[in-house]
Amino acid sequence: MKYQSILDLRQTQQAIKFLKDSFERELSHSLHLHRVSAPLFVDPASGLNDNLNGVERPVAFDVAADGERLEIVHSLAKWKRLALHNYHYEPGLGIYTDMNAIRRDEVPDALHSIYVDQWDWERVILPEERTYEMLRTIVERIYASIKSVEWLVCNRFPELKPALPNEIAFISSEELLACYPDLDAKARENAVVKEYGAVFVSQIGRNLSNGKSHDGRAPDYDDWSLNGDILVWFEPLQCAVELSSMGIRVDAKSLKKQLELSRHTERASLPYHQMILNDELPLTIGGGIGQSRLCLVLLKKMHIGEVQASYWPQAEIERCRQNNIELL
């Protein structure tokens, strides 16, 4: 039996707009965030671009007016913290923005696209709030916003039925390894998320007891001991779907340590990193929440191309056609 989307193309576009508008309201209210405008590109010499796992190549171009070379952002993980400094935000308040990026090295499939759209958010915290308890509280608020929007979407489009659990479970990457020592990281995620429905896997980036990190993380934005991913089980694709990567950001001590561990000490001389090392930037917590990923899950689609317009290799287009998947 071929796949049949619950919503047709017109309903899908209406639902995407409703979902995104609703989630922005829920998130901004829950975390006390103000919407701001954000850049599509940055000067690579500033150190503001997100280096992701350290191997992805940014899309770059030169400016005809002055010959300067700029990079399309991978995310706004670092820019937001600088913006909070420039806008003089106080603890307990923060910002969010629509982030659009191009990640040329992504391998396009049902969950991945070279076009990335997410809500990037950042909030100022106090020194005493750099704790796991604070991280957990924010995760629970974000998940509550997701659940609230799931209910709103299903109420507006009754053909859709809620599927996410009421609560999110928490587990560290080391605990996850202990539970499933014979599985690789992705298989461990699938196993635990299938069991609980929604899970926050914490402490991502540092090496575990098996000598490997659970997943790659740049050393200069999240504190690897105070970060993690929100994952939910998605029945149509029979896998865990990451909806958010987030964490408490590095302070001077953790930045220096993580640059040494990752062998990227040369970054310490960049302007952004110097501001952290000199305690000139506010302490923050922040992350990104995938817009298309959230639409995929809540609208019960089989392919991220059903909720965003992107580029797909011909083989992927043909695979979708054979499975009755309508790409935007």
Average pLDDT score over residue span 58-75: 87
Average pLDDT, the chain: 93
Which residues are the active-site residues? 50, 103, 118, 229, 242, 245
The DSSP output letter for 58 is: P
Provide the pLDDT for residue 1: 60
Q: Residue 53: which pLDDT band, with cuts at 50, 70 and 90?
A: low
Q: Around Cβ 259, how many Cβ atoms within 10 Å?
A: 19
Spell out the residues 6+ positions from residue 266 whose beta carbon is closer than 8 angstroms to its own. none
Spell out the residues 6+ positions from residue 110 whose beta carbon is closer than 8 angstroms to its own. 237, 302, 303, 304
The DSSP output letter for 94 is: E
Spell out the residues 6+ positions from residue 271 whose beta carbon is closer than 8 angstroms to its own. 45, 46, 47
pLDDT digits 0-9 by tens, 131-177: 999 999 999 999 999 999 999 999 999 999 999 999 999 999 999 99
Which whole-number Å values give the CA distances from 122 to 94, 104, 105, 159, 249, in the listed order?
5, 25, 26, 35, 10
Q: Residue 78: which pLDDT band, with cuts at 50, 70 and 90?
A: confident
Which residue segments constitute the domains of the chain, with CATH numbers given? 9-322 (3.30.930.10)
Average pLDDT score over residue span 235-241: 94
Strand, coil or helix: 280: coil
Report H helices in the chain. 9-31, 79-86, 132-156, 173-179, 185-196, 252-261, 271-277, 291-298, 314-322
The 3-state secondary structure of 7-53 reads: CCHHHHHHHHHHHHHHHHHHHHHHHCEEECCCCCEECHHHCCCCCCC
- Residue pair 281/48 in contact (Cβ under 8 Å)? The answer is no
Q: Residue 31: which pLDDT band, with cuts at 50, 70 and 90?
A: very high
pLDDT digits 0-9 by tens, 187-237: 999 999 999 999 999 999 999 999 999 988 889 889 999 999 999 999 999
Provide the pLDDT for residue 54: 64
pLDDT digits 0-9 by tens, 246-293: 999 999 999 999 999 989 999 899 888 999 999 999 999 999 999 999
Please name which of 194, 289, 185 lies closest in space to residue 232, comparing C-alpha atoms. 194
